[in-house]
Amino acid sequence: MLSGCRRALPAALRLAVRGWAGGGGRRRVSTSWSPVGAAFDAKQQRSRQTGQSSGLFGVPELSSPEGFQEAQEKALQETEQLVQKACITPPGPQTVMIFDQLSDALCRVADLADFVKIAHPDFAFREAAEEACRNIGTVVEKLNTNIELCQSLKQLLANKEVMDSLDPETRQVAELFMFDFEISGIHLDEEKRKRAVDLNVKILDLCNQFLIGAHLPNKIDKHILPEHIRYNFAVEGNYIQITGLHADCSDDLVREAAYKIFLYPNAEQLRCLEELLTSRNHMAQLVGYNTFAHRALQGTMARTPEKVMQFLETLSDRLFQRTLKDFEIMEGMKMKLNPQNSKLMPWDHPYYSGVLRAERYNIEPSLYCPFFSLGACMEGLNFLFSQLLGISLYAEQTEKGELWCEDVRKLAVVHENEGLLGYIYCDFFQRADKPHQDCHFTIRGGRLREDGEYQLPVVVLMLSLPHSTRSSPTLLTPGMMENLFHEMGHAMHSMLGRTRYQHVTGTRCPTDFAEVPSILMEYFASDYRVVNQFARHYQTGQSLPKSMVSRLCESKKICAAADMQLQVFYAVLDQLYHGEHPLKRSTTEILKETQEKFYGLPYVPNTAWQLRFSHLVGYGAKYYSYLMSRAIASMVWKQCFVQNPFDRAMGERYRKEMLAHGGGKEPMLMVQGMLQKSPSVEDFVDALVSDLDQDFETFFMDSE
C-alpha cells in the first residue's frame, strides 16, 4: 500500500550532503558511501555520535518533540509572508512559484509529521507530530477559502496572453491549485465557506476516528467459544480478544469464529461511517458536485464515477465464469478436508486458495527464503535500476539524531551522469508499536529552488521484515521480496519525478496512476531473468532454480480470478457508498446486496465488513485505482519489457514518458506516450484477464 501522495513537501529539510561539489554542477561521489547489499546483510554502522543532534532527517528543530511546535511557528510565519507576496504579485509564472513555495512551507512540517505520528518509537514524538498534522491541516483549509489569495490565481488564469506563454507544467500546476480552491468552496458566500471549512475539519476527525475503530479488537466471553479453539486467541480474564480474521489458520472453526466475532457490528463505528459518508456528500454538494465520487475523481484517469462503474462491471462480467470455477475448486478442496461442512464461505477463500497453490506447486516459503537474503534482494534492485535507468544505490552513514531507530538504513540514489538524485530511508524491520504495513512516505518533494539548485527528494520506505539472527541474515519470503520491489517502485517514482514544482513531484499524481510504477515492479520481481541476477542461497551461493521461480509465478494464477473478483466487489462497494445520497439502504444492506452480485460468496448475518474497510479513508471513491493501475502496468510490461527486462532504451522511455512528470502532466497523456496509444476500458479489462491465463513463456524465458 501509498502515503501522503497529494501533499506538497518540505523545503527546509536541509540534509547535510557530505563530499559534494557546490553549485549547480554534477555532485561528486561521497566518501561516506558503501555497497548497498553489504549494508543490509551486515550490522548497521552506528550514526556519528559526536557533536549536536542533527535532528530527525537533518531538521535541527526536531531534536526533541517540542521542536514540532517551533517548526510549525516558522512555517506559519513564512506562510503569512508568502500570502501577502502572492496577493501583490502581477499575474505571471512568479504567481505559480509563490503558491508552490507556500505549499512547500506548510509541508515542511505536515508531511514529515504524517510519517512520525505513526512510526516513531517515542510516544512524545508521535503525539507532537499528530498535533502538528491537525494544526497545519486546519491552516490549509483556511487558506483554501482565502478569497484574496484565490483572486491572485484567478487573475493569472483569466489572462490568456500570460497563460499562453507558460510552459505546460506551470499551466497544469496553476490549474491544480485552483482546483484545490474550488473543491474547498471558494466560490461560495461567506457563511457557506465557513461551513465548508468546518465540514473539512469534521471529516478529518471522523477519518481518524474510523481508522482507529477499524483496527480495534472485538472481545467475547471465552465460555461462548469451544474450549479446544480458545488457545488460538488472546485471553484476558474471562474474555477472548479477536484482533483479526485469522485467515491463514487451518482450522475452519477458528476462521469462522474470528470472522463472525471480528466483523460483528459496532454501533459507534457504524455511526462514525454513516456520518463520514454523509459529511463527504454534504461537502461535495456544497461545492457543486453531484456526489463525493464526482469530486474525488476529478483529474484522475477514470474522470467520472460512470467510467469507473463501466470498468468494474465489464471486468466483473469477464471474470464471472472463471470465478465460479475457482469457487468450485476451493469447495472441492474443502469437501476433501472437511466433508461434514463443505459449503464455501467468505472465511474460506484466502485459506483454501493458499492450500491449492501449495498443493499444486509446492511453494512452501521456507524453501525460497534462503535464496532471498535482504542484501541479495537490494543488490538485485541495484542491478535492475543500473541496467534500466543508469541508477545506483549506496548506503550512507547518518548523523547523530538523524534516525528514529538505529536499524534504519539511509540510501543515496545516484545517476551515472546526473549525480545524486535523492535519499531513501529504509525502515525495514519489525519493532514494538510499529504498524504492520508496507508504505512509501514522501518526506520532502523535489523542486527547483529560487537559487537555481534542485531540492533533492527524500522518502521513507517502511516494511515489517524479521531481523537477522546469529546464524543468518534477514531472509525474505517471496511475498516480502515482491513487496520490497513494489515499494521501491514508488521510491523510484519519487526520485525521478523531477518536476519544477514540488506540488506535483514524484508520487503526487492521481491515485489511479500512482500505483502503476510500483505494480510494474512486481512484474520484474516475477521474471526469472531478473530474479536470477540476485537470488543466491546465503550459505552455498547456489542460484535459485528456474523451475522454482516458474512454480512460484504460476501459483499466483491459482484462484486469481476469485481474488480479483473480491477486489471488484470492494471497489464497487466504495463507489456505492460515495454515490448518491441519502443512501437508499443501510451500509450493511448495501454490502449484502453488492457482495451477492459482485463477489458470489454469501453474506454472513450479523457481520459488517465495511466497518473494517480502512481504505475508505485514504482511498474514498478511489479503491478501483489498484485494478486500473494494474491494468496499465500489465500493458507496459507486455509491450515494453517482456522481451528484455533490462532494455535501457525502454527504461529511458519509461523515465521520460511516465516517471519524470510526477503529477505535472495529464496521466492519460503519460500512458499514451509510453504505449503509443490511448487504452480503452476494454483494453484495461483485456490486460487484467490475460494475466490470469496459465502461460509459462510470458514470465520464464532463459536468461540467454
Burial of 197-231, coded b for 16+ CB within 10 Å and e otherwise, reads: bebbeebbebbebbeebbeeebbbebeebeeebbe
Sign of CA dihedral 13, 16, 22, 24: negative
Complete DSSP assignment for 42-106: SPPPPPP-SSS---GGG-GGGGSTTHHHHHHHHHHHHHHHHHHHHHHSPSSHHHHHHHHHHHHHH
Burial of 78-97, coded b for 16+ CB within 10 Å and e otherwise, reads: bbeebbeebeebebbbebbb
Residue 588 and residue 605 in contact, taking contact as beta carbons nearer than 8 Å = no
Q: Compute CA distances 28 → 386, 415, 494, 572, 693, whole Å.
A: 18, 11, 21, 51, 48
Helix (H, G, I), strand (E, B) or coil at 391: strand
| Residue 658: DSSP 8-state | I
Catalytic-residue membership of 487: yes
Burial of 164-186, coded b for 16+ CB within 10 Å and e otherwise, reads: eebeebbbbbbebbbebbbbbbb
Residue 334 and residue 327 in contact, taking contact as beta carbons nearer than 8 Å = no
Backbone torsions φ then ψ of 542, nearest 5 degrees: -65, 140
Distance of alpha carbon 424 from its chain centroid, rounded? 15
| Residue 22: DSSP 8-state | -
**How many angstroms separate the CA atoms of 550 and 548, rounded?**
5
Q: Compute CA distances 430 → 262, 373, 407, 436, whole Å.
A: 24, 16, 10, 8
Burial of 473-488, coded b for 16+ CB within 10 Å and e otherwise, reads: bbbbbbebbbbbbbbb
Complete DSSP assignment for 583-637: -SS-HHHHHHHHHHHHT-SPPPTT--GGGG-THHHHTTTTTTHHHHHHHHHHHHI
List the grid coordinates of 8: 506538497
Number of Cβ within 10 Å of residue 10's Cβ equals 27
* Active-site pick, 256, 487, 522, 657: 487
Name the nearest CA neighbour of 411 among 461, 482, 481, 464.
461
Residue 237 burial (10 A CB sphere; 0-12, 13-18, 19+): exposed
**How many angstroms separate the CA atoms of 98 and 95, rounded?**
5
**How many angstroms separate the CA atoms of 172 and 162, rounded?**
14
Residues serving a catalytic function are 487
